[in-house]
Structure 1
Amino acid sequence: MSRKFLIVLFLISAFSCKKKAEQKAHLEQPAELIKSDEFQLVKSPSENGLLVLFPCFPCDAENTLNEFKIADLATANGFSVLALNVNRKLFLSEHEKEEITLMLQNIIKKQSLVTKNVYFGGFSSGGNMALLVCNHLIKNNKNIQPDGVFVVDSPLDLLALYRTAEKNLKLNTAEVSVQESQFLKQMFDAEFGNPKDSLAVYEKRSPFTFQTQNISNLSALKNTKLRFYTEPDLQWWKEQQQNNYEDLNAYYLKQLANTLKSEFKTNTIELIETENKGYRANGERHPHSWSIVNTKELVSWMQKGI
């Protein structure tokens, strides 16, 4: 073996080892946490995807990252996690959808985030926002195009939510349920009016209206992967708030999943019903929680788009 050949072989080996060491060092870099008034971003050191999260009605980005333990797993697999502080919204006007779009575009540009392999998710009312914003992005051919959307026990049918609130007020049993129902009924009466006189207004704002099978606000999501998570613990809801299955978000999520499968004729729509997975970060049992999502399996689902 010639001396020249040995030198070449040594150089190739040294270069290969250096490259592997650089890759290992890059992978071992910690994720970067960036906070602002608008969001909290956990940025992956090996970013090749983005997960955007909307909080529940009274919640914020910090609450989302505390309750939904996905940031470490997602960033380790190349997904940065952008938790938004956009809250207190069950529905969005066209102006609000565009405002959120511009905010996302500015964050992505300023933080140098990717615009491929983008997924959106939301818990409770945050799921409503996630679906409506994604439909807006696709419908208007924005530079952010979601590959998939998932919602976690979201109240997607506002008409049904109004009627459940009316029922809860008549029952007048659980104090928490009565307070929430009073708030919802007052808000809907002020914003939309009584459904008897303004059904079309509810259809215009609601992601889904089961009574009329209206899915016009989701029509652009035909080629987008969709997941609907819910935990229909009928005994828990009956004991806590005297609710039946038809009063639950779980019921309407199932109806929507069936409707979309029929209308879109696709196999990319999933209804995921869990059992005894719902617990808050403080250990409190509650089926209406981020924890019903299997984070490892969700990241695998997102990776299938890469």
Structure 2
Amino acid sequence: MKYLKCLTISLAVLISNNLYGQNIQKSKASLKGESFSFYYRLPAEKTEGILVLLPGWGESPQSIFKKTELPAVLAQRGYLTVVPELKRTLFADDFQLAEIDLMISMLKEKHSLGAIPLVIGGLSAGGSVAIGYAEYLLSEGKNSGLKAVFVIDPPLDLERMYISSERKIKYACLGLVQKEGVFIKNYLENALGGSPVSKPDEYLKRSSFSANAVDGGRAKFLKNIPVRLYAEPDLEFVRKTYCSDLQFDDINATDLEKLNKFLQQAGNTRSEYIATKGKGFHSWNIPEAKDCADWILKSGNQQH
């Protein structure tokens, strides 16, 4: 739904095409009886690392290669970039975790890739899944080669998001904001079995970050890894565009600010919150491609 912007291998088919002037390959796979596709760009020469980019809610994976220059920049510097189809979800559920695992293993097998650095990033809901996947790898102690994670304006704290949805329903602003509030409230109640009051453990389990938990919830697993949190916290823009009643706690930047503060207080000196201006609210344009690529390569060369 457009208003969210405010916010087992069984088959492998490879197709090469000149997408947006780039040599993008497509692969299909099946997991638990459900098929999905992913698109990737190989580097110009030897593959030295993998970047997993996760699209926002409803974004087609192939469109990401047009929306950000990051895959093109990294292709010249030894990184394979892969973008999967994602189910419409606001958190990393078990299916999404297994899907990304499968996709990476398929790529490594197909292209004979050994122990190379892995970096994961995403926009909006895809950023939520990216953080969740990083936490999953780190909590399980998997030898994945994960070196860093970056996200662009994702919702991370589902309890905060639920409370915000209730406010949006009550604001004196009809239309998009109210519809978003109703949708998110219903989505979270259906996905997690109720509200944060009735199902606190589910919200803690599925949130990438829980601001009200002393240990940050699952964010505690991010203490020893480079993290970049990008946002353009343009409250004036969203008030003018959507609803004058909106508060800072109604936009995703509040989660990123709080997560960065938590990680830095926990001793993570490689956590960064990057707030931009003039890049575009909730957009792939927020990270500067070359700067982000430099950070990815630097992180990939570090030992944790």
Match of 1:248 in 2: 251
1:239 aligns with 2:252: no
Q: Which moved more, 1:243-252 or 1:292-301?
A: 243-252
What count of residue pairs does the alignment treat as equivalent? 268
Take 2:215 and 2:140, find their aligned partners in 1: how far apart are those partners? 20
Match of 1:293 in 2: 287
Take 1:121 and 1:34, find their aligned partners in 2: how far apart are those partners? 20
Match of 2:59 in 1: 59
Q: Which SS does the other structure have where 1:179 is aligned?
A: helix
1:90 aligns with 2:90: yes
Match of 2:41 in 1: 42
| Aligned amino acid, residue 242 of structure 2 | Q
CA shift in 2, pair 1:36/1:262, >3 Å = same
1:33 aligns with 2:50: no
Deviations 1:68-115 (A, max 9, x none): 222211101111111111231212334542343133212322233454
CA shift in 2, pair 1:65/1:176, >3 Å = farther
Take 1:32 and 1:173, find their aligned partners in 2: how far apart are those partners? 46
Q: Which SS does the other structure have where 1:291 is aligned?
A: coil
Residue identity over aligned pairs, in percent, reads 29
Q: CA deviation at 1:31?
A: 6.6
Normalized per residue, the structure richer in helix is: 1
Match of 2:135 in 1: 135
Deviations 1:104-130 (A, max 9, x none): 212322233454222110100111111
5 Å-filtered alignment, 1:1-306, equals 32-37=23-28, 38-46=37-45, 47-94=47-94, 96-113=96-113, 115-173=115-173, 175-192=175-192, 193-242=194-243, 243-263=246-266, 265-278=267-280, 287-304=281-298, 305-306=300-301
Q: CA deviation at 1:156?
A: 0.4
Take 1:214 and 1:249, find their aligned partners in 2: how far apart are those partners? 20
Take 2:51 and 2:174, find their aligned partners in 1: how far apart are those partners? 36
CA shift in 2, pair 1:176/1:67, >3 Å = farther
Take 1:77 and 1:244, find their aligned partners in 2: how far apart are those partners? 41
User: Conserved in 2, the CA contact under 8 Å of 1:50 and 1:118?
Assistant: yes
Normalised by the size of structure 2, how large is the TM-score?
A: 0.82
Gaps of 5+ in 2: 1-20, 29-36
Q: Which moved more, 1:100-109 or 1:130-139?
A: 100-109
| Aligned amino acid, residue 195 of structure 1 | P
Q: CA deviation at 1:210?
A: 1.4
Query: Which structure has the larger Rg?
Result: 1
User: Conserved in 1, the CA contact under 8 Å of 2:86 and 2:96?
Assistant: no
Q: CA deviation at 1:152?
A: 0.2
Match of 1:10 in 2: none
CA shift in 2, pair 1:95/1:36, >3 Å = closer
Q: Which SS does the other structure have where 1:51 is aligned?
A: strand
User: Conserved in 2, the CA contact under 8 Å of 1:33 and 1:40?
Assistant: yes
Take 2:256 and 2:219, find their aligned partners in 1: how far apart are those partners? 13
Gaps of 5+ in 1: 1-29, 279-286
> For the aligned residues, what is the CA RMSD?
1.9
Q: Which SS does the other structure have where 1:35 is aligned?
A: strand
CA shift in 2, pair 1:165/1:76, >3 Å = same
User: Conserved in 2, the CA contact under 8 Å of 1:51 and 1:82?
Assistant: yes
User: Conserved in 2, the CA contact under 8 Å of 1:40 and 1:83?
Assistant: yes
Q: Which moved more, 1:123-132 or 1:83-92?
A: 83-92
Match of 2:16 in 1: none
Q: CA deviation at 1:179?
A: 2.3
Take 1:129 and 1:115, find their aligned partners in 2: how far apart are those partners? 23
Take 2:296 and 2:62, find their aligned partners in 1: how far apart are those partners? 23
Take 1:175 and 1:302, find their aligned partners in 2: how far apart are those partners? 40
Q: CA deviation at 1:174?
A: 5.0
Q: CA deviation at 1:206?
A: 0.6
Deviations 1:165-205 (A, max 9, x none): 11111115252222222221111112220222222221111
